[in-house]
Amino acid sequence: MDPYIFGLFAIAYLAVFIWGIVKHKKTASAVLFLVVLALIYDNGILALGHVIGEGELLETLSAARFWLHGVFTPTLILFSYFVLREANIGFAKKTWVGAAFIVLMVAAWVIEFMVELKDLTLGVQESYGVASYSSVEAISGPPPMILIVVLALLVTAIFLAWKRKWWWMLVGVIIMTIGSAVTIDVGSDAITNLFELILIVTLMHTAIRFSNVTDRKMW
């Protein structure tokens, strides 16, 4: 059943991407599109793994999932900063704030490389009908890179709720955080991806909302 669920997630992310292309006003928060593209690929490979079958091709495609995740997910930190600026949150205009977000993003990249990607070794895994290659040395608990990203998203979401009465992003971050922390046995490994989808929908909604009220364009 899970391959079909992941396939539906890939289609849902494609719909989010198209929604953003149509509604977003080409401001800097469009960096979010990179994350959405990576998630389309991620869920697509999980959906098609049983069709591709075990072997070098699926292993290579699966390795790309980890690298895309490691490279693009930290850009959500930069997205957080751009959204604060586009929402005209006062302190976000200070140079040191932008520098702090960039340092956090670079730190997330370095940590992800050292912890997850440097010695990445994949092993075949089959679960609920999904054939995939996963890290054989997965760390316990939430990855450090994800904690940094969630912190940046949470800080931004709180300021948007406080200063702009915009609650969608905060709702998405809270749902994602709780959903990832609580083990839910529903006979599927796809439940965490559902929480990710909810988060991305709220982030895209936020990006569209504030790209439509700012005069700062990407180009």
Q: Tell me which of 60-69, 82-91, 121-130, 168-177 is least confident.
A: 121-130
| b (16+ CB within 10 A) / e for 118-129 | eeeebeebeeee
- Work out the burial of residue 198: count CB atoms within 10 Å of its CB; fewer than 13 is exposed, 13-18 middle, 19 or more buried: middle
> What residues contact residue 64 under an 8 Å CB cut-off, 6+ apart?
41, 45
For the residues 52-66, what does the mean pLDDT come to? 90
Torsion sign over Cα 197, 203, 207, 213: positive
Distance of CA 29 to the CA centre of its chain: 14
Give the whole-angstrom CA distance, residue 182 versus residue 137.
22
d(CA 71, CA 196): 17
The pTM for the full model equals 0.91
Which of the four pLDDT bands, split at 50, 70 and 90, describes residue 216?
very low
The CA distance from 198 to 189, in Å, is 16
Q: Is the pLDDT of residue 188 over 80?
A: no
More confidently predicted of 212 and 128: 212
